[in-house]
Amino acid sequence: MDINSLNAARSYVGLRRATEPEPGQAGGADLRPDDDAGGFGGAVRDFTETLRASEDLAKSAMTSGADPHALVHALAETELAVETVVTVRDKIVEAYQEILRMPV
């Protein structure tokens, strides 16, 4: 199996974006961050845009040799965004578990 940067770039370009819903997946197209109350919708949009920008920069770095410093910066932003989302998810799960422990 021959793996080189050109084959990797072609394979990556052919893949579906991580921010796009699965085709035919229920709920994927129905999720609209604009409809959420408060600042949560904005946070979801920011997270999605961060992922999209990083994916686009990674594609351009593999195909046309974009600036490696910009790629590292974008990957660091993406890592921070994912860690933030995981932390928020953990807090939501923890709150849900606390609610389940409450006596009725």
The one-letter code for the residue type at 99 is I
Distance CA 3, CA 65 (A): 18
CB of 54 closer than 8 Å to CB of 60 = no
Distance CA 54, CA 57 (A): 5
CB of 49 closer than 8 Å to CB of 19 = no
Rounded to a whole number of angstroms, the CA Rg of the chain reads 18
**Domains: count for the chain:** 1
Give residue 33's domain range: 5-101
pTM above 0.85, yes or no: no
Distance CA 79, CA 87 (A): 12
pLDDT (tens digit per residue) in 19-76: 566 666 554 444 454 454 558 888 888 889 989 988 888 888 888 877 888 888 888 9
